[in-house]
Amino acid sequence: MPRRFALITGASSGIGAATAHRLAQDGYDVWLTFAHDEAGATTTAKHCAAAGAATRVSRLDLRDTASVDALVAEVTAAWGRLDVLVNNGGVCPYRALDDIELDEWDQVMETNARGTFVLSRAALPLLRAGREDAEHADPAATDRAIVNVASIAGQQGALRTGVHYAASKGAMLAITRSFARILAGERIRVNAVTPGPVTSNITDQLDDAGRAALTSSIPLGDFGAPEDVAWVIASLADPRAAFVTGATYDVNGGVRID
Ligand SMILES: NC(=O)c1ccc[n+]([C@@H]2O[C@H](COP(=O)([O-])OP(=O)(O)OC[C@H]3O[C@@H](n4cnc5c(N)ncnc54)[C@H](OP(=O)(O)O)[C@@H]3O)[C@@H](O)[C@H]2O)c1
């Protein structure tokens, strides 16, 4: 299989770090981003390098279009193409309905929803690049994929997380389906995962009562691990998922989504 290149946002911890490591183990070179936690991203990079991946790390603030453009310029200069983009970086304030300030609403929407749109669109030239000379019989040389890390909150609505978070993740699902339809003719596949509760910095904010209530709602009986989500993301990114686009994959321990 030819060398493949993946960009994973929010790879300093949690699901993003596990996804970067999974993709590195699968033979990708990986570009990791962090927003604040450079040490975490450096640790992820070490694990990826130990798995044999050429690894790069950049700071990215998804709310800032200049930061997105700078990242895309860096990737263009270094790699000139991308096979996989994982839109994972995001924020999740736990906020009661009456306490949501509009500034925080904007921050959440700008990071999770607008950031996914802005980076995906800016990365399109990289996803389109490098296929002209590729052997069309080799899907690994021509398949391109975007995987968006949405959330069960975007399907069910918020209860403990904020309404702004649920709205941003619902928007990510609409962005996923729109990009999938628009880009299908170019064979750029776009899918989403919708994790339920997963052990990470985000769910570490829960108090004991919140954690117990959530746990009791999960048929499989416990929170997922970041690696559980990473495996599904890597499967959707894999060229063997060639007929999967516009899909939403639940990774939620069996919670039924109607
Ligand atoms: N854990 C769950 O139960 C769960 C469930 C459903 C969906 N998700 C989604 O999974 C994704 C990863 O979350 P996680 O659970 O792994 O939590 P996490 O460990 O807190 O990871 C969040 C990542 O997003 C990055 N980030 C934060 N603000 C950013 C910004 N403005 N620009 C770019 N990146 C930014 C963080 O970077 P820094 O650390 O450098 O700030 C970090 O790498 C999120 O999109 C989250 O909504 C999580």
Mean pLDDT by runs of 10 across the 258 residues of the chain is: 91 98 98 98 98 98 98 98 98 97 98 98 96 67 95 96 97 98 97 98 94 96 98 98 98 95
- Residue 94: closest CA among 150, 155, 158, 34: 158
pLDDT at 140: 72
Distance of CA 160 to the CA centre of its chain: 22
Task: Establish whether residue 61 lines the binding site of ligand 1, counting it when its CB lies within 6 angstroms of any ligand atom.
Answer: yes
Beta bridge partners of 226: none
Q: What is the pLDDT of residue 133?
A: 62
165 is catalytic: yes
Contact 30, 41 (CB under 8 A): no
Nearest residue (by CA) to ligand 1, atom 14, is 14
Annotated domain spans of the chain: 4-250
The pLDDT of residue 222: 97
pLDDT of residue 188: 98
* Domain at 4-250, CATH class: alpha beta
SS3 248: strand
Query: What is the pLDDT, as a whole number, of residue 130?
Result: 84
> What integer pLDDT is reported at residue 70 of this predicted model?
98
User: What's the confidence (pLDDT) of residue 122?
Assistant: 98
Residue 151 phi/psi, 5-degree rounding, is: -170, 155
